[in-house]
Each structure stands twice: as structure tokens, then as C-alpha cells.
């Protein structure tokens, strides 16, 4: 049976360097595609933002990954569980050596159901971690695809790190 485009859903997460986030979700059963890009920024001032602009910290964008998934094979809640496991949600604007608002922890929801699931998962995760979770939960605005050389970077460059 062929997958139908309208049966798929999207999720967008920011959890530090998008290379790592993309790699974590790309091979997951039920994930159809992943795209490294930028989310959560000033869409009017920067409608076609670039990596260098995002790194400046002036755009408001975060490095993010947009995930297209089949909800019949993997739930949004399972994607959230993976999101919490792959980064430290208690560090503000930082993941490891990467520092700046572009490396913040964020969940960009597309509808009320995703927002409620994100808020519930943050609350549940907070009970299991030390420190205060600083992950933002915001509406998914415009997602800007990152430059082609960022797509599946860790897959193409074995041994590379964020």
C-alpha cells in the first residue's frame, strides 16, 4: 500500500546542533523524512534566513529538525520521548560546547493536540530530571530548510561530531 501524503504528520524539534537531532530521528521506524533547518525566528525580518545569520544570534531562529512521520507507525508522544532523551533540556541556550539562542531546546507544535502532548511530556520529564527544564513550547511558524550541506551531515561525514 502506498503512503498518502495527507496521512503524514509533521513535528519540529530544536535540541542543540541539528546534525545530531536529525541523525537521532532519521532512522526511526515510522519517520518518513527529516529536514535540518531553522524555526522560531523573526519570519518578517528574516524570511530566507541563512546559517551565518542564525549563528549571529540576531534572528531568533533555532537550529531545528522538521520530521515527517506516519502516526500509524510512530506516535507524536514517542517522538517526544526521544526528544527528551537526546539532549539536556535544563541548559538554557546551550547543548555541550554549542552556546547561543540558536542551540536552545524547543518544541514547535502544529495544533492543540501536539501542544497538549508537549506540555504533558515536559511535566512528566521534569519529575525525572535534576534541574529546571527550560525547553520552550511554541507554535510552529515558518520552517526554513537549512543549506544542503547541512542535510544528513553526520550520515554523510562518518566520524564528524556536532
Residue 152 maps to which CATH number? 3.30.1060.10
0.75 surpassed by pTM: yes
Residue 17: active-site member: yes
SS3 122: helix
| Position 64 in a domain | yes
Could you read off the pLDDT of 4-31 as tens digits, one per residue? 667 899 999 999 999 899 999 999 999 9
Q: What is the pLDDT of residue 1?
A: 45
The residue annotated as part of the active site, out of 14, 15, 17, 107, is 17
| Position 120 in a domain | yes
| Position 2 in a domain | no
Per the structure, the count of domains in the chain is 1
| Position 141 in a domain | yes
Q: In angstroms, rounded to a whole number, what is the distance separating the alpha carbons of residues 135 and 8?
A: 25
Residue 50 corresponds to which cell in the numbers above? Answer: 541563512
| Position 161 in a domain | no
Amino acid at each position: 500500500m502506498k503512503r498518502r501524503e495527507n496521512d503524514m504528520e509533521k513535528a519540529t524539534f530544536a535540541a542543540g546542533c541539528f546534525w545530531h537531532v536529525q541523525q537521532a530521528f532519521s532512522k526511526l521506524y515510522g519517520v518518513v523524512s527529516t529536514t535540518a533547518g531553522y524555526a522560531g525566528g523573526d519570519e518578517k525580518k528574516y524570511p530566507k534566513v541563512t546559517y551565518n545569520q542564525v549563528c549571529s544570534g540576531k534572528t531568533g531562529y533555532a537550529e531545528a529538525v522538521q520530521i515527517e512521520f506516519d502516526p500509524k507507525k510512530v506516535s507524536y508522544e514517542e517522538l517526544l520521548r526521544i526528544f527528551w532523551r537526546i539532549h539536556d533540556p535544563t541548559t538554557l541556550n546551550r547543548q555541550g560546547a554549542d552556546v547561543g539562542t540558536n542551540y536552545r531546546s524547543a518544541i514547535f507544535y502544529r495544533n492543540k493536540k501536539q501542544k497538549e502532548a508537549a506540555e504533558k511530556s515536559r511535566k512528566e520529564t521534569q519529575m525525572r530530571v535534576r534541574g529546571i527544564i527550560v525547553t520552550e513550547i511554541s507554535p510552529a511558524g515558518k520552517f526554513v530548510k537549512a543549506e544542503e550541506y547541512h542535510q544528513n551531515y553526520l550520515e554523510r561525514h562518518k566520524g564528524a561530531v556536532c
